């Protein structure tokens, strides 16, 4: 999240597969972590949503593994390790809250998917390697579908009229009184 | 029979079955993630690592790892860890603390741990507040931070733990931000590998009592200069930085403390006799 990925460091489809796999497995880890947090705080609905998101990212990781053939995406990969950057698709754990709503969770997921889309889109224009560019376009299309899915799901959870402007922007658990 | 290579551990192998009970959104979740990633990168099996802590939210971390751990007395994690490292130099000893436990209650131990330079890695999860006890000001709280306990702020100047570490003799000084777990993991790896006392201040937001710290993610930035081995130069940089420079700021080359090895072996029975009343 802190560093902009450098397209020049991704010089082959093997590197891009390894990075894409790492991005997805990182997303799985974060969503599972969020599910655990919600389970601890007895937020059952959010536990289920984050587990579903983790499962979806896990399927995507498996799809990348399948697409890569025998490239060994889950083995330590020197080029991927040299690509020193926080994952663009990482959910912002700092925005979690024990009273967060499905809408908050979907907004978190949407932001992560949009960053991933921007990453792969940026890669398509930032690389001169045609095979990397083609693969980046495939991943960008996939992320675009995820963005659209999040947006569709968000329509099921509109901002409550009585919470307009509060839940998305401020303290989700405001105090009843201030000393 | 052919020799078999040891299986490499993955980050998840360093997590225990105990689920963290920090507040959702707490930066310490990221620190745990960074720590387990660092352990996997170091390639050490869990039984070759000890995680020692004191008291506070951050000090819960040993229970969440599968390594050896000790949840010690408030502020006393460093002498405990130093003792362990001296008698078990084969272990990688990582000490976890917070700004209250490490800089206030354990402040004196902090100075002397830096001075002794035992080969430890000290991670302080700094959120500028006592979170576990509901938001009292800590040694790094801003003087004007207004709370019910300190209306209008404590008015007390916060200290700069990195400068104090340098002045006291720490051999490796770095600052990290919990929200950058990959970068933090890399810093932990480097700190563990660096000989002597390695100190990493990890800015780790308390979203419950300091929700304003969510803004840290937009304030942190990589240190604009390379690390130096000149403590005075590093201290000058730190005295004038904005508190959000990340990365290794000082790499010293002082030899770590090692106990004299020519001392006579201690006989436990004789030792116990010495304590008889």
* Alpha helix segments (H runs only) across chain A: 13-40, 44-67, 78-82, 102-126, 130-155
d(CA B6, CA A14): 26
- Is the pLDDT at A151 greater than 90? The verdict is yes
Beta strands B172-177 and B92-98 are unpaired
B12 vs B52, residue with greater confidence = B52
pLDDT of residue B2: 40
Q: What is the pLDDT of residue A140?
A: 95
Tens-digit pLDDT profile for residues B245-268: 999 999 999 999 988 776 666 788
Which structural domain, as residue segments, surrounds residue B250? 11-274
Report the gap between the CA of A79 and the closest CA in chain B (Å).
Answer: 15
Question: Would you list the DSSP string of A62-96?
Answer: HHHHHHTTTS-TTS--HHHHHS----TT---GGG-
- Please state the domain count of chain B: 1
The pLDDT of residue B102 is 97
Contacts of A85 in chain B (CB under 8 A): 182
From B60's Cα to the closest Cα of chain A, the distance in A is 15
> In terms of C-beta distances under 8 Å and separation of at least 24 residues, what long-range contacts does A146-153 make, across chains too?
A146/A113, A146/A116, A146/A117, A147/A110, A147/A113, A147/A114, A147/A117, A150/A106, A150/A109, A150/A110, A150/A113, A151/A110, A153/A106
CB contact under 8 A, B205 and A94: yes
Distance separating alpha carbons of residues B216 and B205, to the nearest angstrom? 8
CA distance B170 to B116: 8
> What's the pLDDT score for residue A3?
43
> What residues of B are in contact with residue A96 (Cβ under 8 Å)?
24-25, 207
Question: Which residues of A are less than 8 Å from B222 in CB distance?
Answer: 2
For range B209-230, the mean pLDDT: 92
B2 part of a folded domain? no
Q: ipTM of this model? A: 0.80
Residue A15 has pLDDT above 70, yes or no: yes
Q: Quick check: A94 and B33 CB within 8 A?
A: no
Cβ-Cβ contacts under 8 Å between A and B: the total is: 64
Closest CA to B34 of B17, B55, B51: B51
Q: 3-class SS at B222?
A: strand
Q: Is the pLDDT of residue A74 over 80?
A: no
> Shortest Cα distance from A84 to chain B (angstroms)?
8
CA B205 – CA A177 distance, rounded (Å): 24
Q: Is the pLDDT of residue B125 over 60?
A: yes
What is the average pLDDT value for chain A, to the nearest integer? 82
Q: Tell which residue, B65, B57, B70, B51, has the closest CA to residue B18.
A: B65
pLDDT at A4: 45
Q: Residue B135 region, left (φ>0) first, then alpha (ψ -120 to 50), else beta?
A: left
Q: Determine whether the interchain pair B211/A171 forms a contact, defined as Cβ–Cβ distance below 8 Å.
A: yes
Residues of B in contact with A41 (CB under 8 A): 24
CB atoms within 10 A of CB B277: 2
* Chain B residues whose C-beta sits inside 8 Å of any chain A C-beta: 11-12, 19-25, 27, 29-30, 33, 148, 151, 177, 179-183, 186, 205, 207, 211, 214, 217, 220, 222
What is the average pLDDT value for chain B, to the nearest integer? 92
**Residue B144, domain member (yes or no):** yes
Residue A1 clears pLDDT 50, i.e. is over it: no
Output the pTM of the full model. 0.88
CA distance B219 to B81: 33
Chain A positions in Cβ-Cβ contact with residue B151 (cut-off 8 Å): 179
CA A144, A149, A152, A158 torsion-angle sign: negative
Instruction: Give the integer Cα–Cα distance in Å for A11 and A128.
Output: 9
> Is B83 part of a structural domain of the chain?
yes
Contact B29 A37 (CB under 8 A): yes
Q: Are residues A33 and B19, on separate chains, in Cβ contact within 8 Å?
A: no
Residue B142 lies in a domain: yes
What's the confidence (pLDDT) of residue A85? 66
Q: Name chain B contacts of A37, Cβ cutoff 8 Å.
A: 20, 22, 24, 29
Q: What is chain A's alpha carbon radius of gyration, rounded to the nearest angstrom? A: 18
**Fold (CATH) for A8-159:** Ferritin (1.20.1260)
- In the structure, what pLDDT confidence band is assigned to residue A78 with cuts at 50, 70 and 90? low
Q: What is the pLDDT, as a whole number, of residue A10?
A: 77
Exposure string of A64-76, with b = 16+ CB inside 10 Å and e = fewer, is: bbebbeebebeee
Tens-digit pLDDT profile for residues B129-165: 999 998 999 999 999 999 888 899 999 999 999 999 9
Please give the structure tokens belonging to residue A84: 């020193």
What would the pLDDT profile of B160-219 be if each residue is shown by its tens digit? 999 999 999 999 999 999 999 989 999 999 999 999 999 999 999 999 999 999 999 999
Strands (E), chain B: 49-53, 68-71, 92-98, 121-126, 172-177, 198-203, 221-222, 245-251
Q: Do B20 and A179 touch (CB under 8 A)?
A: no
In this model, does residue A179 exceed pLDDT 60?
A: no
Where are chain A's structural domains?
A: 8-159
Tell whether B3 is covered by a domain. no
pLDDT of B1 strictly over 50: no
**pLDDT for residue B149:** 85
The pLDDT score that the predictor gives to residue A18 is 87
pLDDT interval class at A125 (50, 70, 90)? confident
Residue B228, beta-bridge partner list: B250
pLDDT at B191: 98
When scoring A37, A89, A100 by the number of chain B Cβ atoms within 10 A, the one with the most, hence best to mutate, is A37
Q: In chain B, how many H helices and how many E strands?
A: 9, 8
Higher pLDDT, B24 or A164: B24
Residue B219 is assigned to a structural domain of this protein: yes
Residue B172's nearest CA partner among B162, B157, B183 is: B162
CATH number of domain containing B236:
3.40.50.970
Identify the pLDDT of residue A92. Answer: 85
Tell me how far apart the alpha carbons of residues B37 and B265 are, in angstroms, rounded to a whole number: 38
- The answer to whether position B1 is within a domain reads no
Of all residues in chain B, the one with the smallest CA distance to A85 is: B182
Tell the residue number behind the tokens 């990397």, with chain if given.
A132
Closest residue by Cα to residue A32 from A74, A90, A77: A90
- Say whether pLDDT at A81 is over 70: no
């Amino acid at each position: 999240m802190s560093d902009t990925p450098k397209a020049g460091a991704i010089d082959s489809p093997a590197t891009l597969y390894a990075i894409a796999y790492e991005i997805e497995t990182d997303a799985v880890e974060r969503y599972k972590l969020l599910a655990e947090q919600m389970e601890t705080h007895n937020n059952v609905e959010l536990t289920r949503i984050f587990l579903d998101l983790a499962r979806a990212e896990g399927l995507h990781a498996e799809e990348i593994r399948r697409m890569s053939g025998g490239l060994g995406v889950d083995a330590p990969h020197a080029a991927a390790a040299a690509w020193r950057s926080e994952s663009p698709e990482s959910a912002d754990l700092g925005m979690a809250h024990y009273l967060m709503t499905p809408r908050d969770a979907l907004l978190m997921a949407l932001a992560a998917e949009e960053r991933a889309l921007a990453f792969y889109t940026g890669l398509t224009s930032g690389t001169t390697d045609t095979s990397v560019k083609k693969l980046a376009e495939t991943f960008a299309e996939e992320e675009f579908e995820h963005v659209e899915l999040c947006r569709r799901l968000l329509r099921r959870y509109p901002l409550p009229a009585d919470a307009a402007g509060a839940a998305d922007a401020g303290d989700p658990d405001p105090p009843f009184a201030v000393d | 029979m052919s020799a078999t290579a040891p299986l490499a551990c993955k980050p998840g192998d360093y997590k225990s079955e105990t689920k963290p009970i920090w507040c959702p959104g707490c930066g310490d979740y990221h620190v745990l993630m960074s720590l387990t990633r660092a352990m996997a990168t170091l390639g050490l099996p869990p039984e070759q690592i000890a995680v020692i802590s004191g008291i506070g939210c951050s000090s819960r971390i040993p229970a969440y790892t599968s390594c050896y751990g000790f949840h010690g007395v408030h502020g006393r994690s460093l002498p405990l860890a130093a003792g362990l490292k001296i008698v078990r130099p084969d272990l990688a000893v990582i000490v976890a603390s917070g700004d209250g436990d490490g800089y206030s209650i354990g402040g004196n131990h902090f100075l002397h741990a830096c001075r002794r330079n035992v080969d430890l890695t000290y991670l302080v999860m700094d959120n500028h507040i006592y979170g576990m006890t509901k938001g009292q000001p800590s040694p790094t709280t801003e003087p004007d931070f207004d709370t019910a306990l300190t209306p209008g702020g404590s008015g007390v100047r916060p200290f700069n733990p990195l400068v104090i570490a340098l002045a006291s003799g720490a051999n490796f000084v770095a600052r990290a931000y919990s929200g950058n777990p990959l970068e933090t993991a890399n810093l932990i790896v480097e700190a563990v590998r660096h000989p002597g006392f390695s100190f990493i201040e990890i800015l780790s937001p308390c979203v419950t009592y300091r929700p304003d710290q969510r803004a840290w993610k937009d304030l942190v930035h990589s240190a604009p200069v390379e690390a130096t081995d000149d403590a005075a130069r590093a201290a000058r940089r730190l005295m004038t930085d904005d508190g959000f420079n990340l990365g290794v700021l000082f790499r010293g080359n002082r030899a770590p403390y090692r106990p004299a090895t020519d001392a006579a072996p201690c006989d436990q029975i004789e030792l116990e006799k010495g304590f008889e009343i």
